[in-house]
Amino acid sequence: MAEKQLPLTGTCVVEIGHSLSAPYAGNILARLGARVIKIESHQRGDYARDWGPPFVDGASVLFHGVNNGKASVRANFDEPEFVQKLKAFILEHADVVLQNLKPGTLDRYGLGSDQLTAASPRLIYCNLGAFGRNGPLQHAPGYDPLMQAFSGLMSVLGNTGDDASRVPVSLNDKGTGMWAVIGILSALLQRRQDPENATRIVDVSLFETALSWMSVPLSDRMAGGSMPQRNGSGSPNIVPYQVFQCTDGALMIAAGNDKLFAALCATLELHQLIVDPRFATNGARVQHRDQLIPLLKVKIERMSMAECLDKFTAASIPCGPMHNLDQVLQHAQTHALGILQTTPDGQVTTIGLPISFDGQRPPLAGNGPQLGANDDLLHIY
């Protein structure tokens, strides 16, 4: 049987981006089968090439992880000949352009979204910005931790009294990359179904992504809810739903409804809590969190991890150990999924796409490109 083509085979994407959001979007598209041409600074390349250690083959592992399988073309936008050749290549070959340069940068060279979509009605152009297309901050720069602070996310992270902390992964950068891909795929589908009226320009931003992560606390607040507190590993809306210490480790327990709470209390031989009006419903438990959690902790902290897992699993209570990175990498479930993937040159192992088609996960798109390895695509040097 012939091997199935990936969904975006035959699609050409030009990525004029750096750092993480646009490169991550481009990498998703590459792993889905698209041909992705990465346009990089002719002097230094993508900033992310230096975001290490660790480094492999002269570039950070982070760079390889989100740029594998792309072609690399060096760009000098101060050279009119380069700009002309890049524009000609886009208009002749590209289905998609995605970019995350400062607003207005590409417009100065005739490569902005309005300019190129006017010249090529079939082109889909995605802008990945900082604060969004409109508003007083539309031209301001932005990075992931800035958006974690600006969106209110940092205000609910950690425990009461702690210094401010951030989620230590770039969830706004990568989330914006994912929203970009969702928008691009929607536009490609619409172009196929109704080419005369299809969307041409897709706009996403780090701030809008951060607001989407915060949709529950922001919606709660707009509905008159109190200002959310910092609950550590816990949830502002569900109790008990947090990490508890055992004698030999930490265990996440997610008793997300009244039935599970009753099962947890029965397993811990705390039957009186089931009929206590302070804890009868989830809403009541949220209100009386400070009274309930210490009662559970007294029991759980005397039990081993194995004992907790055995008893809670037998009672169908969702729970699991808090792993470090080595434990995640070594776990049988991680390996069973086949989500750890290695570049063809064997130098970098990273995480594959969290999606499968007919039971098959798309492979990595290739190796991380050397800077300028594909300059000949535009015949520029």
How many Cα atoms occupy the beta-carbon half-sphere of 44 within 13 Å?
A: 8
List, in order of start, the domains of the chain with CATH numbers. Answer: 12-213+341-377 (3.40.50.10540), 241-326 (3.30.1540.10)
> Positive or negative, the Cα torsion across 230, 231, 235, 236?
negative
In this predicted structure, the answer to whether residue 79 has a pLDDT above a threshold of 90 is yes
Percent of the chain at pLDDT above 90?
90
Mean pLDDT, the chain, as a whole number?
Answer: 94
pLDDT digits (tens, 9 = 90+) for 243-263: 999 999 999 999 999 999 999
CB 31 within 8 A of CB 354: no
In this predicted structure, the answer to whether residue 22 has a pLDDT above a threshold of 70 is yes
What pTM, to 2 d.p., does this model score? 0.92
What pLDDT, on a 0 to 100 scale, did the predictor assign at position 57? 92
C-alpha span between 379 and 381 (Å, rounded): 6
Phi, psi of 197 (to 5 degrees): -120, 20
C-alpha span between 154 and 48 (Å, rounded): 24
Give the confidence band of 381 by pLDDT, cuts at 50, 70, 90: very low
Give the confidence band of 379 by pLDDT, cuts at 50, 70, 90: low
In this predicted structure, the answer to whether residue 114 has a pLDDT above a threshold of 60 is yes
CB 166 within 8 A of CB 213: no
Tell me if the bond preceding 54 is cis, omega within 30° of 0. Answer: yes
Give the confidence band of 3 by pLDDT, cuts at 50, 70, 90: low
What pLDDT, on a 0 to 100 scale, did the predictor assign at position 201? 96
For residue 25, give the nearest of 8, 43, 41, 10 by alpha carbon.
8
CB 249 within 8 A of CB 302: no
Alpha helices in the chain (DSSP H): 21-31, 61-67, 80-93, 113-119, 144-150, 171-193, 206-213, 215-222, 258-267, 271-274, 282-287, 289-300, 305-314, 325-330, 332-337
Give the confidence band of 152 by pLDDT, cuts at 50, 70, 90: very high
Paired with 41 in beta bridges are 75
Give the confidence band of 1 by pLDDT, cuts at 50, 70, 90: very low
What pLDDT, on a 0 to 100 scale, did the predictor assign at position 365? 93
In this predicted structure, the answer to whether residue 377 has a pLDDT above a threshold of 90 is no
